[in-house]
Homo-oligomer: A and B are copies of this chain.
Amino acid sequence: MSLDESTQEAARKPHDRLADWLAADMDAVNGLIRERMASEHAPRIPEVSAHLIEAGGKRLRPMLVLAAARLCGYGGPFHVHLAATVEFIHTATLLHDDVVDESQRRRGRPTANLLWDNKSSVLVGDYLFARAFQLMVEPGSLRVLSILSDAAATIAEGEVLQLMAAQDLGTDEATYLKVIRGKTAALFSAATEAGAVIAGADEGRVQALRTYGDALGIAFQIVDDLLDYGGADAALGKNTGDDFRERKVTLPVIKAVARANPEERAFWSRVIEKGDQREGDLEEARRLMDRHGAMAAARAEALDWAARARAAMAGLPDEPLREMLEDLAAYVVARIS
């Protein structure tokens, strides 16, 4: 590779490089997903599933399984099952999230609950959960089953915690961390850990990859929460200001509230606790966050978690996949740098 080509290569998104590197595996994953989301009797199931699964999601979670397994030298077939499993769990949670949040758009398209109805989203989500559990049984690894069923419980608990923390200005950063570990990091860390375990990696590598996934997921979610206040971001395919309208108490809100004067507290109480939101309130929220450096402080935390993710990879083999995963951690926070 010439220097020029090498520079071009480095400038490509780490996600795309991962996708290229793992292309054959991902083809197998996509084939398995298509096969298993079918239903002999109920055509509504593949209709709803395909609407979401084929809407151009980044397939980040299945790629984490594949990358972890390959980085640990796996040569068997079952990383594909586990990759499809985490994509099914992810898709099921998105279907249920959109019902819970009454969302209208996802990945730039109308949500399933809007195109069909809440009933279909709830039940097809349940079907995908069940299919995920069938898939994860097939490799025959009880340890992998523990990892993934624990993750499913952490995800659901995090979602309930988020529901309770919404509209509650008493939510602190520790609770916020539990919520985002549940809603995002649990599946990231289960993906990387399960990939390492199925490859028979030693305990040090298993823990390193688990730590990587956890930190990457936390960084990813803090960034997502920041971008929700970060102005128009059409690339996300979701509306900015959603969290504000849904009165979710995310990290920049927690930091702004902690530093609020009495007048500002009254503002936060009105818009988040009482839900009395008026024209210009979102802009006012952004202004208060800026005034107290809440956005900058949250950004610093995201960068710190990304650094932890990169650091966790130090003991893994120095191969292209490791570099791509390190770059991925950097890239996730580059959106806010």
A296 proximal to B (CB < 8 A): no
Report whether B127 and A45 are in contact in the complex, using a CB–CB cutoff of 8 Å. Answer: no
Q: Mark A286-322, 1 if CB is under 8 A from B, else 0.
A: 0000000000000000000000000000000000000
Contact A41 B157 (CB under 8 A): yes
Within the complex, what minimum Cβ distance (angstroms) separates A181 from chain B? 10
Q: Is the CB of A159 within 8 A of B126?
A: yes
Is chain A's binding surface mostly helix, strand, loop or mixed? Answer: helix
A139, closest chain B residue (CB): B142
Tell me the smallest distance from the CB of A50 to a CB of chain B, in Å: 14
Assess whether A100 is interfacial by the CB under 8 Å rule. Answer: yes
A149 and B163 in contact (CB under 8 A), knowing A155-B130, A156-B123, A157-B41?
no
Q: Is the CB of B142 within 8 A of A96?
A: no
**Inside 8 A of A163's CB, which chain B residues have their CB?**
44, 119-120, 123
B100 touches A123 (CB 8 A): yes
Contact, CB under 8 Å: B39 / A160: yes
Contact A44 B129 (CB under 8 A): no
Tally of contact residues, A, Cβ under 8 A: 42
Contacts A41-B178, A129-B129; A145 near B137 (Cβ below 8 A): yes
Q: What is the bound-complex CA distance between A159 and B126, given in angstroms?
A: 9
When the two chains form their complex, are residues A42 and B157 in contact, meaning their CB atoms are under 8 A apart? yes
- Cβ 8 A contact of A122, one of B45, B99, B149: B99
Q: Hey, what's the 0/1 contact readout for A108-149 against B, CB within 8 Å counting as 1? A: 000000000011101110110111011001001010011001
Q: Which residues of B contact A160 (CB under 8 A)?
A: 39, 42, 44-45, 120, 123-124, 127
Chain B residue at minimum C-beta to C-beta distance from A124 = B160
Per-position binary interface string of chain A over residues 172-191, scored 1 when its CB falls under 8 Å from any chain B CB and 0 otherwise:
00010010000000000000
With A44-B163, A100-B119 given, is the CB distance from A152 to B137 under 8 Å? no
Q: Which of A196-231 contact B (CB under 8 A)?
A: none
Decide if A19 is an interface residue (CB 8 Å cutoff).
Answer: no
In whole Å, how far is A11's beta carbon from the nearest beta carbon of chain B?
A: 41
Chain B residues within an 8 Å CB radius of A39:
157, 160
Q: Known pairs A119-B163, A126-B155, A130-B156; list 11 more (Cβ under 8 Å).
A: A39-B160, A44-B164, A96-B126, A100-B119, A126-B156, A127-B156, A129-B152, A129-B156, A130-B149, A134-B152, A134-B153
Sample of 25 A–B contacts (CB below 8 Å):
A41-B157, A42-B160, A44-B160, A45-B160, A93-B126, A96-B122, A96-B126, A99-B118, A100-B118, A100-B123, A123-B156, A123-B160, A124-B156, A127-B153, A130-B149, A130-B153, A133-B145, A133-B149, A133-B153, A134-B146, A134-B153, A137-B146, A137-B149, A142-B142, A145-B145
User: Which of A's residues lie within 8 Å of B, judged by CB?
Assistant: 39, 41-45, 93, 96, 99-100, 118-120, 122-124, 126-127, 129-131, 133-134, 137, 140, 142, 145-146, 149-150, 152-153, 155-157, 159-161, 163-164, 175, 178
